[in-house]
C-alpha cells in the first residue's frame, strides 16, 4: 500500500465529504469567474480585511478548510454560507453567485453535523 493510499484510508467519511464539497466550491468559483489565477498576497484577520470576499474564499477559506479536511480537525461552527448571503443577497442580488452561496451553506451543514 502506498503512502497516499494509507492516508486516504485514514480519512473519515466526513473528511472525504468536506474535500469533495471544497472541490465543487472551487470549481464553481472558476466557472463564474470568481477565481484569480494570480491572486495578490495579503494578510487578514477576518474576511472584511481581504481585498474581496472572493479572494478571501480562494486564499484563506479554501486552504484552511482543506487543511481541516486533511487533519480531521474542524471548528465547532461555520458561517461561510451566512457570509455569502450577506455578500450576494443583502445589499444587492448577484444571480451568478447563488449556486456558490448554496454550496457554502451546504459546507456549513457538513461542518456542523457530527
Cell numbers given for 88: 450576494
- Residue 2: predicted pLDDT: 54
pLDDT at residue 8 above 60? no
**CATH class of the domain at 3-112:** mainly alpha
Domain ranges of the chain: 3-112
Predicted TM-score of the model (pTM): 0.88
- Residue 7: predicted pLDDT: 52
With 0-12 / 13-18 / 19 or more C-beta atoms within 10 angstroms meaning exposed / middle / buried, residue 107 is: buried
- Residue 11: predicted pLDDT: 81
Amino acid at each position: 500500500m502506498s503512502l497516499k493510499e494509507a492516508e486516504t484510508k485514514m480519512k473519515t467519511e466526513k473528511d472525504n465529504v468536506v474535500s469533495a464539497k471544497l472541490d465543487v466550491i472551487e470549481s464553481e468559483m472558476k466557472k463564474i469567474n470568481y477565481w484569480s489565477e494570480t491572486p495578490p498576497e495579503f494578510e487578514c484577520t477576518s474576511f472584511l480585511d481581504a481585498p474581496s470576499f472572493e479572494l478571501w474564499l480562494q486564499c484563506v477559506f479554501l486552504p484552511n478548510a482543506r487543511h481541516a479536511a486533511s487533519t480531521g480537525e474542524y471548528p465547532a461552527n461555520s458561517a461561510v454560507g451566512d457570509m455569502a448571503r450577506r455578500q450576494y443577497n443583502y445589499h444587492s442580488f448577484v444571480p451568478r453567485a447563488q449556486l456558490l452561496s448554496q454550496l457554502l451553506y451546504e459546507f456549513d451543514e457538513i461542518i456542523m453535523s457530527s
